[in-house]
Amino acid sequence: MADTQDPVTTLTASCLCKSTTFTVSIPNSKLPIPTHLCHCDICRRFHGTFAAFHADIPPPIGLNYDTLTSFETPCAVRYFCSTCGAQVLDRAKEGENWCVSTAMFNHKDVDDIFEYTAHIFVGDTKDGGMSDWLPSVKGKELKRWKTTPKGRGASDEELPLYWRATAPPKESAKEDRVHAHCYCNGTSFYLHRPDPCKMSRELAEKRISPRDPSKWIAKVCACDSCRLAAGAQLVPWAYVSKGHITQANGEPFEVTFGTLKAYRSSPGATRTFCGTCGAQCHYVRDGEDIVDISVGLLDAESGTRVEEWLDWQTEKLGYPEDAEGSGLVKACAEGLKAWGRRVERRKEYTS
């Protein structure tokens, strides 16, 4: 008798430290899997990124719960690696619905497996967030939902490209500090405006925006290490100096404070994440004054791109060579450039 079973494609997921691995078997008839970017406040604070890259999958195989920490939200249980903090999966509290961070797979293995179809909860970003940098992936336009088309939220409204609920930040309205915190609030700190007197000249040149000295330089990293630590293919960082961060209690910055845990991701570098909710928080180099802050933690008036504080480097992603073969990352590189030119034109027009 002929084998009538649907052939399957098996994918292997792994976190940065490799203590969490599992496989997912997907019937070929279900491919490609519709995948969305979730821009909701919860996902942003859990990953420390602009959005989560999520796909519904069959129950994972070989998951070792001993390597994971769980955190419950109102409708789901989220799992992150207890050693490196990678947000790998979540499971709905009702039923057996699993959702995976698609970043946990190698780009080349999944470029045709996960098909990006939509941005959801764009309304939470206030400024469009990263959805403006990914209008389409591999030639296919992504829908942009204010909440979600599934009716979980208050409306199914679609939003246009470059939508924003807030006006672009006014150059005159400059708070002197901005709050940052993870989802559970166990890690809470403030970032202050750059003061060239508090850092070396060399560092000031690298970290303070040459166009607006009240802003820090920010960049989106596409490297494998950031991908596997944050559970996101595109990881936004603000490049700052240590002396400009204070803990919520007023104490100066330390590598670990509050609920932070540290993971040595490479010789000379430490990544920190919240030990309670798993949010990726900082990247710190030994013996240097520099700290990278996960932009998803910042609470700016204008929205998630934190434009009143950050000058985005739009011409190039960090380490695009690590993401070779990823239609998603390539699309972001192009979308970011287009957005950068648009912002420049807006400034010329208003100045």
Integer Cα distance of 62 and 68 in angstroms: 13
Residue whose tokens read 């296919």: 140
Coil vs helix vs strand at 177: strand
Q: Is the separation of the CB atoms in 344 and 314 below 8 Å?
A: no
Residues in the chain: 351
Q: Which of 339, 351, 302, 276 is nearest to 135 (CA)?
A: 339
Q: Is the separation of the CB atoms in 67 and 16 below 8 Å?
A: no
Residue 188 CB neighbours (<10 A): 17
Coil vs helix vs strand at 312: strand
Q: What are phi and psi of 128, to 5 degrees?
A: 90, -25
Integer Cα distance of 104 and 99 in angstroms: 12
What residues are paired with 179 via a beta bridge? 190
Residue 96 CB neighbours (<10 A): 8
Q: Which of 270, 292, 169, 268 is nearest to 219 (CA)?
A: 292
Q: What are phi and psi of 201, to 5 degrees?
A: -65, -40
Q: Which of 209, 212, 114, 175 is nearest to 298 (CA)?
A: 175
Nearer to Zn ion, 67 or 169 (CB): 67
Binding site for Zn ion (CB under 5 A): 15, 17, 19-20, 38, 40, 43, 81, 83-84, 182, 184, 186, 221, 223, 226, 274, 276-277
